[in-house]
């Protein structure tokens, strides 16, 4: 009897173990489908299989599991039929679903804001060390941007000598910029200096609502305090702090990260490159960079470009070194050096499974711990580099990266990849798929392309929005999420927007998804865009989907929106613009922080997949409806990609109507024949 039961259990375990992802249901990308299948053939498990095997917790998904003290976790699931009458669900301390969901939500904001802002702090430290000339590896590259940023930090860029105003020494300016920037994380008084970079009306709203951040760190710490048991138990008051911390991220930590990175490594301008796993090369050393901080990746790019390393690779039988990137490190080195994108967040294991990844070097954020298990099945060296991001598995090599000897550290890593080339097994399988792309737009280059130096503003962009050729602006950003079909939401939403003449600004993994789909080329305009947007893109020679960089670079979208406001004709605030935000496949806490700073900046922001607020209907209504009355922007959730895009378009049309420019679009309305032409394409 006992034996029978044991045999049955063994059988069940084996059936369970066989539960694998269907590659075609897991992703729309043929390269990834091929690699998921290949992994399964080799008996290697990936995130796609784990997502099939393990269902998410239904209570956590609704945002109403409280584990902030040892009396819990208290779980308050919403009854299937919803709540009739009074909602008397309570945790042991009496916390309501609203309190619990709000506490969880702002803790996610704290996590996201901390990640972006700590990244920003690391960059500021390297910046300061470059300004102090303590490191030979980094130096100030973009002095024009240095001068522009100095003004926003209250650093003088000229000086009076003998009654004349003369340019100040740039080394001095850089030093003061570095010090002032560092101060933004922990100053004891005043408010976030960059808050005033927002349109005046926006700043006034923040002032009125009492949410102008004091300094970056304090807002994050205060969230942890207020969400401790028995502190803030009013969801509205909790969200006030969540809003303040999110603004400190978007207009603080993230914006400083972007600015200082641009000054140190160069402000991006459009570059041609390629995207998808097919960028890896069988006859070259493949070094894949994964993570977020360009402090590491910039140095690796510099080292791989040296003749010494090139020759060394050849001496080991390779034709050279093929660098490529995963996640936001990919976006960083793409936008500044044209280094190809290897893949999105969900493709990190697949890059190793090609068998051609000689080394993967990682720093911080979005790195799967399972990479170590996958790397074990191949010759791949997995190298961690950041003191705050190590892995427990013993095949992981840690080479701590330090700005004071960054070049030497990078050299060690590149050499390790080259030395490993000859250890490759025979099982190399690199998918063929890759797409051409143009990436690396920013506030400055959009101004150049759509405004021109003559006007020096976003005039042309505004003009085309006012005359209706461009219906509006969509900021589509964020992660991939293994709970939904990889890249499907990203691509469908973006295609639907551009088909309806909405120009798209993209960052993060959405940018990589669009790149893989071939949407980042000027030629895309004729194929996928409505006639108005196609005309603008063809005239100016830009893609209808503009790649603005990594996730911290969402600050570029905030500043681009501010430039549109400044250029005139479209209202006085970001909330007046015909614009909407989206994160179709979000998964990280950073995405929640980004979503909320967009909302707090006046943007209607729609998330896909799920949102951990659905178990607390009153709190959800507060975010989805009441927020608009206070901030002009609000949250929404829409899983269906086409409906998702049309909710954004409806909001854009609402704003066009309020601006009195809804009639202008009538002139460019598409007739049915033209529309069918677009559909067919």
Please report how close the Cβ of residue 327 comes to ligand BF8 at its closest, in angstroms: 3
User: Which burial class, exposed, middle or buried, applies to 217 when counting CB atoms under 10 A from its CB (0-12, 13-18, 19+)?
Assistant: buried
Q: Note whether 491 and 645 are within 8 A (CB).
A: no
Please report how close the Cβ of residue 512 comes to ligand BF8 at its closest, in angstroms: 8
The residue (of 211 and 546) whose beta carbon lies closer to ligand BF8 is 546
Please report how close the Cβ of residue 230 comes to ligand BF8 at its closest, in angstroms: 32
543-575 burial, b for 16+ CB within 10 Å, e for fewer? Answer: bbbbbbbbbbbbbbbbbbbbbbbebeebbebbb
Please report how close the Cβ of residue 413 comes to ligand BF8 at its closest, in angstroms: 20
Tokens representing 239? 């969200």
Please report how close the Cβ of residue 520 comes to ligand BF8 at its closest, in angstroms: 16
Tokens representing 48? 């796609």
The residue (of 75 and 292) whose beta carbon lies closer to ligand BF8 is 292
Q: Hunting for tokens 């097994």 — which residue is that?
A: 425
- The Cα–Cα gap between 60 and 104 comes to 10
Please report how close the Cβ of residue 217 comes to ligand BF8 at its closest, in angstroms: 20
Please report how close the Cβ of residue 289 comes to ligand BF8 at its closest, in angstroms: 12
The residue (of 145 and 486) whose beta carbon lies closer to ligand BF8 is 486
The residue (of 113 and 450) whose beta carbon lies closer to ligand BF8 is 113
Cis preceding-peptide flag for 283 (omega within 30 of 0): no
- The Cα–Cα gap between 331 and 327 comes to 7
Cβ atoms within 10 Å, residue 653: 17
The residue (of 21 and 591) whose beta carbon lies closer to ligand BF8 is 591
Please report how close the Cβ of residue 561 comes to ligand BF8 at its closest, in angstroms: 19
Long-range contacts of 391-400 (CB under 8 A, 24+ apart): 393/369, 396/372
The residue (of 215 and 550) whose beta carbon lies closer to ligand BF8 is 550
Please report how close the Cβ of residue 326 comes to ligand BF8 at its closest, in angstroms: 8
Instruction: State the sign of the Cα–Cα–Cα–Cα dihedral 220, 225, 229, 234.
Output: negative
The residue (of 328 and 450) whose beta carbon lies closer to ligand BF8 is 328
Please report how close the Cβ of residue 290 comes to ligand BF8 at its closest, in angstroms: 9
Instruction: State the sign of the Cα–Cα–Cα–Cα dihedral 86, 88, 94, 97.
Output: negative
- The Cα–Cα gap between 492 and 507 comes to 16
Please report how close the Cβ of residue 179 comes to ligand BF8 at its closest, in angstroms: 27
The H or E element that residue 617 is part of is helix 617-621
- The Cα–Cα gap between 100 and 66 comes to 6
Q: Are strands 271-275 and 435-439 parallel, antiparallel or unpaired?
A: antiparallel
**Residues of the shown chain interacting with ligand BF8 in the complex, contacts defined by CB under 6 A:** 292, 327-328, 345, 366, 478-479, 508-509, 550-551, 588, 590-591
Q: Note whether 597 and 249 are within 8 A (CB).
A: yes
Q: Note whether 133 and 158 are within 8 A (CB).
A: no
The residue (of 249 and 576) whose beta carbon lies closer to ligand BF8 is 249
DSSP assignment string, 255-291: HHHHHHHHHHH-----EEEEESGGGS-TTSEEEEEES
Q: List strand residue ranges (DSSP E) for 97-218, in order.
A: 158-161, 164-167
- The Cα–Cα gap between 454 and 227 comes to 51
DSSP 484: S
The residue (of 129 and 588) whose beta carbon lies closer to ligand BF8 is 588
The residue (of 346 and 525) whose beta carbon lies closer to ligand BF8 is 346
Please report how close the Cβ of residue 529 comes to ligand BF8 at its closest, in angstroms: 24
The residue (of 74 and 603) whose beta carbon lies closer to ligand BF8 is 603
The residue (of 450 and 583) whose beta carbon lies closer to ligand BF8 is 583
Q: Hunting for tokens 């009076």 — which residue is that?
A: 160
Three-state DSSP at 595 gives helix
């Amino acid at each position: 009897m006992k034996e029978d039961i044991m045999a049955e259990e063994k059988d069940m375990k084996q059936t369970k173990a066989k539960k694998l992802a269907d590659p075609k249901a897991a992703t729309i990308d043929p390269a990834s489908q091929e690699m998921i299948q290949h992994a399964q053939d080799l008996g290697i498990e990936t995130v796609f299989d784990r997502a099939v095997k393990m269902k998410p917790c239904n209570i956590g998904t609704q945002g109403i599991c409280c584990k902030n003290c040892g009396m819990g976790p208290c779980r308050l699931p919403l009854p299937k039929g919803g709540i009739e009458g009074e909602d008397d669900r309570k945790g042991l301390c009496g916390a309501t679903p609203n309190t619990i969901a709000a506490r969880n939500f702002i803790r996610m904001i704290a996590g996201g804001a901390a990640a972006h802002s700590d990244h920003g702090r690391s960059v500021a430290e390297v910046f300061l060390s470059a300004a102090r000339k303590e490191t030979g590896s980094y130096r100030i590259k973009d002095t024009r941007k240095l001068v522009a940023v100095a003004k926003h930090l209250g650093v003088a860029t000229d000086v009076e000598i003998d009654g004349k105003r003369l340019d100040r020494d740039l080394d001095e300016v850089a030093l003061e910029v570095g010090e002032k920037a560092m101060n933004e994380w922990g100053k004891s008084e005043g408010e976030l200096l960059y808050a005033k970079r927002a349109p005046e009306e926006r700043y006034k709203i923040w002032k009125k609502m009492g949410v102008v951040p004091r300094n970056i760190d304090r807002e994050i710490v205060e969230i942890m305090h207020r969400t401790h048991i028995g502190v803030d138990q009013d969801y509205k008051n909790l969200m006030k702090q969540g809003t303040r911390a999110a603004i400190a991220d978007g207009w603080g930590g993230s914006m400083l990260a972007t600015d200082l990175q641009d000054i140190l490594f160069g402000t991006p301008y459009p570059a041609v490159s390629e995207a998808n796993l097919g960028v890896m090369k069988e006859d070259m050393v493949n070094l894949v960079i994964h993570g977020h901080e360009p402090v590491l990746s910039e140095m690796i790019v510099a080292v791989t470009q040296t003749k010494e390393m090139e020759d060394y690779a050849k001496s080991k039988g390779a034709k050279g070194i093929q660098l490529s990137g995963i996640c936001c490190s990919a976006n960083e080195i793409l936008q500044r050096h044209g280094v190809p994108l290897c893949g999105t967040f969900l493709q990190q294991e697949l890059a190793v499974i090609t068998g051609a990844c000689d080394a993967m070097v990682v720093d911080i954020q979005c790195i799967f711990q399972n990479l170590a298990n996958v790397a074990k099945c191949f010759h791949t060296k997995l190298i961690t580099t950041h003191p705050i991001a190590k892995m427990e598995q013993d095949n992981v090599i840690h080479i701590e990266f330090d700005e004071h000897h960054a070049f030497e550290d990078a050299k060690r890593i590149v050499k390790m990849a080259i030395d490993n080339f000859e250890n490759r097994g025979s099982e190399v399988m690199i998918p063929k798929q890759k797409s051409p792309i143009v990436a690396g737009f920013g506030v400055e280059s959009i101004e150049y392309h759509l405004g021109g130096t003559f006007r020096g503003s976003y005039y042309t962009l505004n003009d085309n929005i006012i005359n209706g050729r461009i219906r509006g602006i969509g900021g589509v950003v964020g992660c991939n999420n293994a709970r939904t079909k990889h890249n499907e939401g990203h691509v469908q939403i973006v295609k639907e927007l551009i088909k309806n003449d909405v120009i798209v600004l993209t960052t993060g993994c959405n940018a990589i998804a669009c790149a893989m789909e071939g949407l980042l080329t000027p030629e895309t305009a004729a194929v996928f865009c409505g006639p108005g947007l196609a005309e603008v893109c063809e005239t100016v020679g830009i893609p209808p989907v503009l790649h603005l960089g990594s996730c911290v670079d969402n600050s570029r979208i905030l500043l681009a929106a501010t430039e549109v406001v400044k250029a005139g004709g479209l209202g006085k605030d970001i909330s007046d613009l015909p614009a909407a935000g989206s994160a179709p496949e979000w998964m990280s806490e950073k995405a929640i922080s980004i979503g909320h700073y967009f909302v707090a900046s006046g943007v209607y922001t729609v998330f896909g997949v799920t949102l951990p607020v659905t178990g607390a209907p009153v709190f959800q209504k507060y975010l989805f409806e009441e927020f608009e009355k206070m901030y002009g922007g609000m949250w929404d959730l829409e899983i269906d990609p086409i409906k998702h895009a049309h909710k954004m378009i409806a909001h854009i049309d609402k704003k066009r109507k309020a601006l009195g420019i809804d009639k202008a679009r009538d002139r460019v309305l598409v007739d049915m024949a033209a529309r069918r032409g677009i559909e067919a394409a």
